[in-house]
Structure 1
Amino acid sequence: MTAQGQSTAGSSPVYTVFRHVRYENLVAGVSGGVLSNLALHPLDLVKIRFAVNDGLELRPKYKGIVHCLTTIWKIDGLRGLYQGVTPNVWGAGLSWGLYFFFYNAIKSYKTEGRTERLEAAEYLISAAEAGAMTLCITNPLWVTKTRLMLQYDVVSPSQRQYKGMMDALVKIYKFEGVRGLYKGFVPGLIGTSHGALQFMAYELLKVKYNTHINRLPDAQLSTVEYILVAATSKIFAVAATYPYQVVRARLQDQHNFYDGVLDVIKRTWRKEGIIGFYKGIVPNLIRVTPACCITFLVYENVSHFLLALKGEEKQV
C-alpha cells in the first residue's frame, strides 16, 4: 500500500471530501449568480407572477410579458420591477456559489485516484447532492423572495406586509416558524433534478464538443462556445422540470393556502389542467437562458483566473 493510500485509508470520509474544497469555486459561483440576477431580475418577477396566477381576484391581470412589465413600471417604477431583488441576489449568489463549491468538491472526491472521467449518472448524482445541500441553506431566502415579489399594489408603501428582506424573514419566522421558512422545500428538493440534469448536460456537452473538434476534453472553451453549451443545457433542464417551480411558488405564496405538494398538484390540475403547471415558462426561459449563460461564463472565467493565480489547472 502506498503512503497516499495509507493517508486516504486513515482519513475520515468528511476530511477526505473537504480536502477537495476550493474557495475559487465559491467566489466564481457567487460572482456569476449575482451579476446574472441583477441584470435579469424583472423577468424573474414576471415569471413568479404568472406562475401563481390561479384566478384569485386580488391578483393583477396581465395580457403578456410586456404588458406585465409596463404595468408594474407605471404603478411602482423601477423599484417595482426590482421587488424582491435583495433576497433574489443573496439567494442566487449563495446558491450558485455553494452549488459550484459543493459540486466541484464532490466531483473531485469521486475522481480521486481514477484515470477515467465520470459517467453521466455520476455527474447527475454529484449535482443532485450539491443541490440538496445548497437548498438546505438557501430555502428561507427563496420563500422571502417569493413573498416580496407577490406584494401587489397598495395605497401606500407603508401598507405593504413586508418592508424588505430582513423584515420578511423575521415576520415569517415569528408567525409561521421554521416551517414557514421552509415552505416549498419538498418541491425544491425534487427540483434539484433540474440542476442535476443541467450540470450533467453541461459537462457532457463540453467534453463531447472538445472531442468532436479534436481538442483535449478539459480544454477551455471560447466565450461563444460557453454561451452555446450553457444555453443548450439550460433549455433541456427547464423543459424537463419546470412544473416543480410552479408548485413551489404556489406553496410559498402568502395569498393562498395549500395543505402540501399533493394539494397544490390536485387543485392546479382540477382548475387549470396541464397548462397550469407551465404558467410562466416563457418569461422563465427568456430570463434563465441568458442568466445561465452569464452565470456559467463568469464562473468559468473567474475560476480559471483564480486557479491560474495559484498555478493550478481547473478541474472539469
Structure 2
Amino acid sequence: MNSIKAQTNVPSSPKKFNVFAHVKYEHLVAGVSGGVASTLILHPLDLIKIRFAVNDGRTATVPQYRGLGSAFTTIFRQEGFRGLYKGVTPNVWGSGSSWGLYFMFYNTIKTFIQGGNTTMPLGPTMHMLAAAESGALTLLLTNPIWVVKTRLCLQCDASNCTEYRGMIHALGQIYKEEGIRGLYRGFVPGMLGVSHGAIQFMTYEEMKNAYNEYRKLPIDTKLATTEYLGFAAVSKLIAAAATYPYQVVRARLQDHHHRYNGTWDCIRQTWRYERMRGFYKGLVPYLVHVTPNICMVMLIWEKLTS
C-alpha cells in the first residue's frame, strides 16, 4: 500500500521539447522537385531578366537588348542554345534547395504556431511571420549559390566577359578573390526581399482559407488543380508588384562588372541615372518567368504533401 502511495506521489518527468517534432521531410522533397522542374523549363527567361536588370546603360560589358524577343534571338544567334542556359547548374541547385528548405521551414514554423492543429487559422500576421522567418533562414544558407548563378548568367561570349568555367570554379574564384563577403553580395537587399515571399505566402494562404471558409469546409481541405494555380498566380503577381525593385538592386550588387559601395549606393546611383524606371528593368521577363514557375512549384508542393 505504501509503495503504491509512493508511486502516486512521484512527479511525472516533464516532456522533452523536440525541435524536430513538426518537421515533415516530404515538404523538402516537394520543394526540391518543384524548384528543379520549373527551373529546367524556364531558366532562359530568368537569364534574360538578370541581363535586363543589370543593364544601367553605362556599362559596356553588359549586352543591350531592345525587348524580350530581341534578347532571345540575340543570345541564341551569338551564344547558341547553350547561351540560353548559362548559369542553369547553380540555378537548379539554388531553386531546388531554396524551395525545399523554404517549404520545410515554413510548414514546420506554421505547424508549431498552430500547435499541431492544421485546421486552426493563423491570420495574415502569423502567416507573414512564418513566411518571413522561413525566407531569412533559406537565404542565409543559399545566398552563395545565387551569387554564382547571377555571375554565370552574365557571362556573354560576344562581350568577351567569360571568367568562370562552371559553378564550382566560380565558387572557388569568388571566395579566393573576394572572400566570404563576395559570396554574400546582395544579402542585404535579399533580406529586404524576404518581404516578397512573406507577402506571397500570406496572400496565398489567406485566399485558400477564405475560399474554404466560404465553402464551409476546414481550412486544410485540398483544392482542385485550377484553384491552386489561380491562387498561386494571383499571390505571385501581388508580391512582385510590391517588391520587384529589390531584385534589381540585388542583381547589380552581385554583378562583378559593376562596383557599388553597398546597397544604398546602388539605390542612389540607379535613381540618379535611371530614375524609377531603372528599378523595374527586367520586370516583363520576370513576370513571364515567375508566374508559370510559381504555379508549377506550388502545385507540385500541394499534390506531393496531400
TM-score above 0.5: yes
**Deviation of residue 155 (structure 1)?**
8.0
1:61 corresponding residue in structure 2: 64
Offset of residue 116 of structure 1: 3.6
1:121-200 equivalences in 2 (<5 Å): 121-154=125-158, 160-200=162-202
CA–CA separation in structure 1 for the residues paired with 2:16 and 2:45: 47
Is 1:75–2:78 an aligned residue pair? Answer: yes
- What residue number does 2:121 align with? 117
* CA offsets 1:212-236 (integer angstroms, 9 cap, x no match): 2343322111111110000000001
CA distance in 2 between counterparts of 1:285 and 1:161 reads: 29
Map 1:1-316; keep pairs closer than 5 Å.
10-12=15-17, 15=18, 17-55=19-57, 56-112=59-115, 116-154=120-158, 160-304=162-306
Does the 8 A contact of 1:43 with 1:283 survive in 2?
yes
Code of the residue aligned with 1:205 in structure 2: it is M
Deviation at residue 210 of structure 1 after TM alignment: 1.9
How many Å separate the matches in 2 of 1:148 and 1:116?
A: 44
1:211 deviation in Å?
2.1
Q: What displacement does 1:152 show?
A: 1.3
TM-score (norm 1): 0.89
Which whole-Å deviations, capped at 9, do the CAs of 1:188-242 have from their partners, x for residues lacking one? 0110100011010110111111222343322111111110000000001000100
SS of 2:220 mapped into structure 1: coil
- The answer to whether the 8 Å contact 2:189/2:246 transfers is yes
**How many residues end up aligned between the 2 structures?**
293
Match of 1:311 in 2: none
Q: Give the letter aligned to residue 16 of structure 2.
A: S
TM-align CA RMSD:
1.6
Percent of pairs with identical residues: 57
Residues 144 and 168 in structure 1, CA contact (< 8 A), matched pair in contact too = yes
TM-score by length of 2: 0.92
* Aligned partners of 1:91 and 1:138 also within 8 Å: yes
Distance in 1 (alpha carbons) for counterparts of 2:50 and 2:116:
45
Structure 1: runs of 5 or more not aligned: 1-5, 305-316
Unaligned runs of 5+ in 2: 1-11
Q: 1:70 to 1:229 in 2, by over 3 A?
A: same
Per-residue deviation, 1:103: 0.5
- C-alpha distance in 1 between matches for 2:211 and 2:178: 49
> Which amino acid is 2:208 matched to?
K
Contact 1:247 1:264 in 2 (8 A): yes
* AA of the residue aligned to 2:91: N
